[in-house]
Amino acid sequence: MEGMGDLLRRMPGSRENVPLSGYTSFGTGGPARYMAAPGSLQEVKEVFLACRQYGQPYLILGRGTNLLVSDRGFQGVVILTCRLNSVFVRENRILCECGSPITSLMKTAVSHCLGGIEFLAGIPGSAGGALVSNAGLKDHWISRAVREIYVLYPESLEVKNIKGDEAAFGYRKSGLADYFVYRTVLNLSPADPGEMRRKMRDNMRRRISSQPIGSMSAGSVFKNPPGAFAGQLIEKAGLKGYSLGGARVSPKHANFIVNTGGATSRDIYLLMSKIREKIRKDYNITLEPEIKLAGDFGE
């Protein structure tokens, strides 16, 4: 009888026991029991069907820029979206698959003189992850540009078209977390490419001046609680620059944790726990993680 490994081995890019440290921006994480890299919607369906048939949990992985994987790895199937990376234009709309890097969206928008997403400049990751987390700035979100989203229901393998205003977008969240986001359509507007580049450069300069760009980190670690900023709370609590093992609260922005070169996922996890405990004690506020945890972080 064919097993899970036999089935996945027939798919391009599929492997077993793959270290995930090379697939996350933290540079940490143990092995994936199975890894699949589907290149079409049909192959995505085959992977989910196999997961259901063999009772395997799954983890959808774009560019790993908002993810902390346990040192013990992930005992299931990691589904890479990197081969689902088509980006094309129809009139004033950009259609992109979930694995499309945000940088590809930006280049396509500029080359076709389509404005409206310049605020995404400098945000790492892929289109699918940006949609699920509603990526953006304090007052600009990718959800504003979303016309429709094609999602796959992992349980039924049904594909559905969700309108942008039906996706339950909110601050750093959406109603898409339980689905496989396959493709989206962004509504943009004609714009001057020179002005677009200027806005993108301004956004990049602000990020570089205030965030540890280029370090091994995963963006903002915690969501801002109502009426406050997580970074300011962490700094006021005296934890800016605080280290635990190889993990350190960034001296540049206290809501970033950086891997100084030798951190384990557990170092980062324990530092997150330390921060949450301190903020809860000092301010009676429970910080909600913005990064996603995958795998077992128990003792």
The residues annotated with a catalytic role in the active site are 172, 220, 290
Name residue 36's amino acid: A
User: Radius of gyration over alpha carbons of the chain, in Å?
Assistant: 20
Q: Is-contact 222 255, C-beta < 8 A? A: yes
Q: How far apart are CA 194 and CA 156, in angstroms?
A: 46
Q: How far apart are CA 229 and CA 121, in angstroms?
A: 22
Instruction: Give the residue ranges of DSSP H helices in the chain.
Output: 4-9, 41-53, 102-111, 127-132, 193-210, 230-236, 265-283
Q: Could you write out the DSSP letters of every residue in 87-141?
A: EEEETTEEEEETT-BHHHHHHHHHHTTEES-GGGTT--SBHHHHHHTT-B-SS-B
Q: Is-contact 294 62, C-beta < 8 A? A: no
Q: How far apart are CA 126 and CA 100, in angstroms?
A: 5
Question: Which of 150, 141, 139, 142 lies closest to 176 in space, CA to CA?
Answer: 150
Q: 196 Cβ partners below 8 Å, 6+ apart?
A: 109, 110, 113, 115, 118
